[in-house]
Amino acid sequence: MESRFFRALDKPTQNRLTLSAQPFRFEPQEFLLDSQSKWNTVFLLNSGSVRMYYLDRDGKEHNKAFFVDHAFFWPVTESLRNEPAGFFIESIESGSGWRWGFDVFKQTFANENDWMTFSHLWMENVLAEKFNREKDWLQLTAAQHYVKLITLR
């Protein structure tokens, strides 16, 4: 299991992550997370694409994020792990990847300092991506946004 997100980790942590990962496959329109569920799973995609989206009060879908090959995403806040997410994560196309329960994933880190270093760097990444998505939403048409998504793949 190779991921750019894990390269900076020490070898023992990488080994524990590999040993504790569960392989999974998904088909199009399969829910990885329902809006009424707590998000307690860490995902690393090998292939495929999924989207994160909300339903508004009229039932209209609003995309929040897209994840494609080699994406790594997890419930970064305590509220996501302890309360219903309020959004869906659904596959767009077939794919595969690795997953961990959040508690199992966190326990693979040898100590709290290692976990805090990893999660802090990840939080910076999430915030940067959020700002980029917001900018794209405000400045790109839907067609331009789609082209950007498939080009980054």
Cα 55 to Cα 21: distance, rounded to the nearest angstrom: 31
* pLDDT tens digits, 140-153: 887 887 777 777 65
* pLDDT tens digits, 17-45: 999 999 999 999 999 999 999 999 999 99
Q: How confident is the model at residue 16 (pLDDT cuts 50, 70, 90)?
A: very high
Mean pLDDT of the chain, nearest integer: 89
DSSP state letter for 146: H
Cα–Cα distances in angstroms (integers) from residue 126 to residues 21, 91, 123, 134, in the given order? 22, 20, 5, 12
Pairing verdict, β 31-33 and 72-73: unpaired
Q: How confident is the model at residue 7 (pLDDT cuts 50, 70, 90)?
A: confident
Q: What is the pLDDT of residue 51?
A: 94
Are residues 75 and 52 in contact, defined by beta-carbon separation less than 8 angstroms?
no
Only one residue has tokens 């494609």, namely: 68
Stronger pLDDT, 102 or 140, i.e. the higher one: 102
